[in-house]
Amino acid sequence: MNSKQKINPSLLLPVMLVFLSMLACQASDLLSTPTPYPTYTPYPEIIVTPYPTYTPYPQPSLTPAPDVRYTEDFEGSSSCFEPYSDAVMNSQMSDGAYSVRITESNQGFLSICPGQTFIDFTLEADIRLLEDTAGSAYFGVMFRETGGQYYSFILSTAPDGYPIYCVSYIGSNSYTPLTNSTFDPGNCWSMVPAGIYDAQTNRLRVSMEGEVMSIYLNDEILTVVRDNLLSAGRIGIQAGTYDQPVLEAAYDNLRVTVP
């Protein structure tokens, strides 16, 4: 005969707790511990260093060669300056130069090159006094000559022997000084600064730009003057005596260039 026994629930509670704890342990053993993702480290920013800006080497400024319109070394048998002769003066090609000789006081000599007419230009010429020169005299160049009118740049010596120069406008019946006298009011003669004039050979240069003329002696500037009476014309050479003769001068290395 079977007999039924009633189990006290309070007795089952500990057993169930033990059983559940065993199941929890087994479940925890079956699940693996997840490996955490590593912290993201961004790639370092790449700094690109630009190539330096190319700087070309500076190029030297080239001075253009002057445009030579007329040149004369007087080495040939002829030039645009014709020979001339009379009782008191003569001019001729001699020893590679154009020589002018005057044997009487108060005489003037002009020789104009009948070739080109120039507007803006630079005129250069070497002038050498020869041994026969004695007494007061003058020598130089003329430019922008037209119809008997021209500009004049001449050299001379004062009574005390000091070198002087004069720039002037010569009209058909007029004379206008363009430089002011430094020792005698009323005329254009000015003293050449010390150390510029040479007792034998001097290089005269005139640069014309519009109405402005720059006057040089042996590459040193003497003066800058302005005049608008003549705008174009021919070039020439000139010489003369004052109270006493004799003058003998030789012209060489004449050249005209334009801008």
The one-letter amino acid code at 22 reads: M
- In angstroms, the CA 5 to CA 17 distance is 23
Find out whether 97 and 73 touch, Cβ atoms under 8 Å. Answer: no
**The pLDDT of residue 213 is above 70:** yes
Q: What is the DSSP track for 1-69?
A: -----PPPHHHHHHHHHHHHHHHHHHHHHHSPPPPPPPPP-PPPPPPPPPPPPP-PPPPPPPPPPPEEE
Residue 5 is encoded by which pair of tokens? 């026994």
Residue 225 confidence (pLDDT): 96
- In angstroms, the CA 241 to CA 225 distance is 26
**The pLDDT of residue 23 is above 70:** no
Of 143 and 32, which is predicted with more confidence?
143
Tell me the pLDDT band of 160, cut-offs 50, 70 and 90.
Answer: confident
pLDDT digits (tens, 9 = 90+) for 78-90: 789 999 999 999 9
Q: Which of 157, 161, 164 is nearest to 137 (CA)?
A: 157
From its phi and psi, is residue 219 left (phi > 0), alpha (psi between -120 and 50) or beta?
left
- In angstroms, the CA 68 to CA 71 distance is 7
Q: Say what percent of the chain tops pLDDT 70.
A: 76
pLDDT digits (tens, 9 = 90+) for 90-120: 999 989 999 999 999 999 999 999 988 999 9
- In angstroms, the CA 176 to CA 168 distance is 6
pLDDT digits (tens, 9 = 90+) for 161-202: 899 999 999 998 888 999 988 777 778 999 999 999 998 899
Find out whether 170 and 150 touch, Cβ atoms under 8 Å. Answer: yes
Residue 53 is encoded by which pair of tokens? 């800006």
Q: Please, what is the average pLDDT of the chain? A: 84
Q: Mean per-residue pLDDT for 239-257?
A: 94
Residue 45 confidence (pLDDT): 65
Residue 158 confidence (pLDDT): 86
Q: Which residue has the tokens 């004069």?
A: 166
Q: Which residue has the tokens 């030789």?
A: 250
Residue 118 is encoded by which pair of tokens? 């120039």
pLDDT digits (tens, 9 = 90+) for 50-87: 666 666 666 666 667 779 999 999 988 778 999 999 99
Backbone angles phi and psi of 152, in degrees to 5 = -130, 135
**Model-level pTM greater than 0.85?**
no
- In angstroms, the CA 215 to CA 219 distance is 9
**The pLDDT of residue 214 is above 80:** yes
**The pLDDT of residue 127 is above 50:** yes
- In angstroms, the CA 228 to CA 231 distance is 7
Q: Report how many helices (DSSP H) and strands (DSSP E) the chain contains, helices first.
A: 1, 16
